[in-house]
Structure 1
């Protein structure tokens, strides 16, 4: 018995008759209805007459640019995914279209397998007859910054554009990335998180792109890389600023060509992944210092998302405390969620949280352990006294207490203060991973351990 569900409709906007015919044949074989027009004006007229499920447009049109149509769709039909056809190698126009709100792009000459996959992903964004899901159970908060963040995450779920998430350590950048993935057409495919700062430099190419058996000493079998593991899904590059320059070049090529070559292989393999990156550092400043390639920066930072620091939306702390305690209670198998006294809640709301949401989670877990089980009081939190009175985290230019010495201090004391400050800064940047901190300081792990002990640094 034939299905009563009407076929999905696709609007094709291109003034080349041969390409339109090719697209119509390809899409009709996918069970889709098509309507082809040759100008921006004709496309607008069709959109006003009937509803479409997907639109694909050429960049060059007789009466305007494909970008004009993308902007029109983004403003008047925000739920309609649109892809653009760009000239081969025109990365700038492709990136510009993604920034304008395009779902994705395909280069000429059109690879039909890539086109079919793109259309499939676009139509999967909102299954026929289903309403888009706008509920977000993970990014809690009523502060305007969190409301705006949730709205942006929903919009980004309807795109394939690379996203870069900025924000301090502990603000939940990976949580934002996972939510973008869950809102996208790739939700049923893998989400592969990678900590770029935790991979030894000599293993990076193999870890990212995979290798063949016998490619190097110790390669006893074929191994898939991160790109292959994330096929069809999302690859999350955390702390991307820590990538060495040599690896940045290889990553850039993989993103531009959408192909990777495993170590030891002669041919490249096509990959279909969406890239979301994050770092607590300022990537633009890393570019200025020469530590990060400018071309890769523009490729990754097509759309930037900022994860706000917890102190900037402190009004959400009570809700986060309630949610966090509920999760911890379930994890530890406790009979009920403990109450939080007013004194404890006031102390948390006054605390600057230099470690952001991650620090709040640690504080709550500690308090849950130390409390008598009935209620959590202020003394159970064990907040750090040195920062209790501060309402904001110390700025980068403010000297750390351990680096401040008297004006008449000896030269040795002054040198030790400077050295202590440099080590503390490196430990914080490396999230207290001493191996990474030693690499940042250009010294061996043993040397760093000796200096930490000698200078009596609490690491």
Structure 2
């Protein structure tokens, strides 16, 4: 099997030689370029499995190359080499599509893990996030956007913040990101941050050494280390107390944990995904969530739409849920009458998919003719809407404020992408002040 080819871009000969030597020891075939122009020529004319670029180059910077590669060499993972502590540059690179980043001074162990993960991605490719056997059910445009986003972020190692109402399926989306990327063979460890008692959090997350406190009769690796080589999903991350937020921020930035009772840090190779039904930007403004952690976990955000915005996906989900329930109960799949279908489409589902499943389980129990009738569908209060039969996924009578926020969010995202996440330029493009843009970004949870 031929060796994987890696293109190293740096204007300093000593750095190029050092990286080339390290990569050869990893049984790889390194090639080098001294500037942006040479790198582009080589990427267009040759085949590579990975690209490593320094941030500062004589004729541009690493961000220019990352952005250019998304169009001209999208199949090649690219990682940037940043100065130690330059988190802002790393975050901008990840937003533009970089696979990952490594900080100077380079640590061979970190470089080796990053390269191995990138090559797994290149060789295996990303699994599609949708399909006949996908648990992500729906044909609306809203769900098509989610699938496209999953496919995009699965190729990166950037932290992703998944937001949406309770019951929309945020953990399912997180699991699909994990299963669609190069860490699919590693563990997926979901953690409900609100379910762990405050006094046990450090031990649960970071592990502990035997004898470090009363009851510590054995060593414990902790949840973060149990996700080694895979993904840690922090559900309801907004419920973390402030003292844990500080410690989590350090773990994400330094990629190392220190177990309770130990004096040494242990390196970890974990991707962090997080989710919340709360508005983290509001929590930041209230002082209940650290702003630096917010920006660190929210490198890329992904909105999971509520069921009321998904049109006739409701009926597809109903069929999927009934198939699963009937399989578990060992009974034939019932038919849903036209009146019952209309009733399902009219409800607004404040509890989203979880509420739909509850309704169908009850209806299945009540139906005694092999057919679910409208009277079997119990709607326990809550608003209703007119059925959207267009299949577009847009609610025919959705809340005006929600629709306006979606329009504002799309306009801001488009402006940020056009200006490569330069907020000053984006504010000018939108015709608002920098302070107004920053406020709106926080309010909409975009940063």
Q: TM-score scaled to structure 1, two decimals?
A: 0.82
Correspondence list, 1:398-413, <5 A: none
Q: 2:401 & 2:68 partners in 1: Cα distance?
A: 42
The answer to which of 130-139 and 299-308 deviates more is 130-139
Q: How does 1:40-439 map to 2 (within 5 A)?
A: 40-127=36-123, 132-136=126-130, 137-334=134-331, 336-372=332-368, 374-385=370-381, 387-388=383-384
Deviates more, 1:386-395 or 1:151-160: 386-395
Q: SS where residue 52 of structure 2 aligns? A: strand
Residue by residue over 1:33-78, the C-alpha shift from the partner in whole angstroms, topping out at 9 and shown as x without a partner, is 2210110100000011112111010111111100100000112222
Distance 1:82 1:389, change over 3 A: closer
Residues 241 and 283, structure 1, Cα contact 8 Å, conserved in 2: yes
**Structure 2, unaligned stretches of length 5 or more?**
387-396, 403-447
Indicate the SS of the match to 1:83.
strand
Q: 1:370 to 1:289 in 2, by over 3 A?
A: same
Q: Could you report, residue by residue, the CA deviation over 1:438-458 in whole angstroms, capped at 9, with x for unpaired residues? A: xxxxxxxxxxxxxxxxxxxxx
Contact 1:57 1:85 in 2 (8 A): yes
Pairwise CA distance, 1:363 = 1.4
Return the alpha-carbon distance in structure 1 between the equivalents of residues 122 and 367 of structure 2.
Answer: 47
Give 3-state SS (helix, strand or coil) of 2:102's partner.
Answer: strand
Q: Aligned partners of 2:3, 2:305: CA distance in 1, in Å?
A: 43
Secondary structure, in 3 states, of the residue corresponding to 1:211?
coil
Alpha carbons 1:352, 1:393 under 8 Å: kept = no
Is the CA contact 2:10–2:53 (under 8 Å) kept in the aligned structure 1? Answer: yes
CA drift of 1:278 comes to 0.4
State the SS of the aligned residue for 1:249: helix
Larger CA Rg, structure 1 vs 2: 1
Between the two structures, name the one with larger relative contact order (CA 8 Å, sep ≥ 6): 2
CA RMSD in angstroms, aligned pairs only: 1.8
* Partners of 2:120 and 2:147 in 1: CA distance: 21
Secondary structure (helix, strand or coil) at the match of 2:379 reads coil
Decide which of 13, 18, 26 is 1:17's aligned counterpart.
13
Once the two structures are TM-superposed, the CA of residue 132 in structure 1 deviates from its matched residue by 4.2
Shift of 1:237: 0.5
What's the offset of the Cα at 1:389? 6.0
Q: Please, which runs of 5 or more residues in structure 1 have no aligned partner?
A: 397-459
Give the Å deviation of 1:312: 0.7
